[in-house]
Chains A and B, each alone.
Chain A
């Protein structure tokens, strides 16, 4: 174990979960993060898909890093990512059709998700496969937890359910409680992400912008 997880790889893995979070700090991959978070289930699937694609594209690019000519590297990145996304999308269509309908174009949009190109460009092009894999998993999870938190609040307050199961008791509705319809609408995703950033930066003062 000690060899697999040296001090550096640990840093590579833990960094993106907090201090170097792809969404809250690096501002990568916002588009899909906001669009799929109205319900918890698609958010979970999206988080897992991105983590898998990111980890494997990182490994592939890292293996090829010495043979890719610099001028056409973006196109090579895109082709590798597009191939992986196609595989994931076909798997989702086969085994989780309902979710893949809900995610609609956003699965395809993982190709142009800035997290992928950002990490490929910044990390995989200059590091060994194993570290790149860890970096991919770390960044994918850093992305996923924000998605899950946003989706948790939007589904709980917007529809009164979690993963489709009703959690707010009927008695509360009888007493006059109503679901907040605004939570389902796109703007609330932005406000919730802003709140996460707010809390995150209030706790890590060095991240605050001047």
Chain B
């Protein structure tokens, strides 16, 4: 139980998806123009990560890993399907995003309207795929850990994108040198935020 909590906190602050690994950068930069839409995107990322990562965890441990198919029949115990991981992970993500989209549209149309184009775009958000690949690399011992990692990473992304959006809203009024306007100054802002987040890296949990 303690371990699950520490993974959660660690994935928010120390191993922040955006600041430590630069995952989800594209949508992070493109959608952080105002706080409200960035909140919507952040919430959608938390949700999709929270659903896809446990599914991919099960897939990895019961189908893809070397010997993972032993539960099906002993002859399959020597099979190693891990080279299929990329295709299956992305297929699961694309399918779940499509599913989530349909469910949200049916049951909460207001949320669907506010998320708009972001929901389908999440399928190609590297933070989601990155979450699954890191899960594969870190070899979590049970699905609880994997889920808490997923939720932690999602919340970390949410925190980062809302923070940047808030800063960019204020920055509208500042006098930035011409060539740095827009993209350039946003990069520098993110760099400064990342440096601030690095102070968490000494955290012992």
Please list the residues of chain A having a beta carbon within 8 angstroms of any beta carbon in chain B: 24, 27-32, 34-35, 74-75, 78-79, 82-83, 85-86, 89-90, 104-105, 108-109, 111-114, 117, 185-191, 193-194, 197-202, 208-210
Contacts and interface: CB of A to CB of B under 8 A. Distances in A.
B38 to A, nearest CB: 16
A111 to B, nearest CB: 6
A86 B83 contact: yes
Interface SS majority for chain A: helix
B130 A109 contact: yes
B37 interface: no
A82 B26 contact: no
Q: B interface, by DSSP: helix, strand, loop or mixed?
A: helix
Given A186-B22, A188-B191, A78 B137 contact: no
23 contacts: A24-B183, A28-B26, A30-B22, A30-B25, A31-B24, A31-B126, A35-B21, A75-B94, A108-B133, A114-B124, A114-B126, A185-B195, A186-B22, A186-B194, A187-B195, A188-B191, A189-B22, A191-B187, A198-B180, A201-B179, A208-B181, A209-B181, A209-B183
A85 B87 CA distance: 9
Contact of B86 (A86, A188, A197, A202): A86
B23 interface: yes
Given A108-B129, A112-B126, A186-B194, A191 B188 contact: yes
Given A78-B124, A79-B87, 6 more contacts: A31-B24, A34-B25, A74-B120, A112-B130, A186-B19, A209-B183
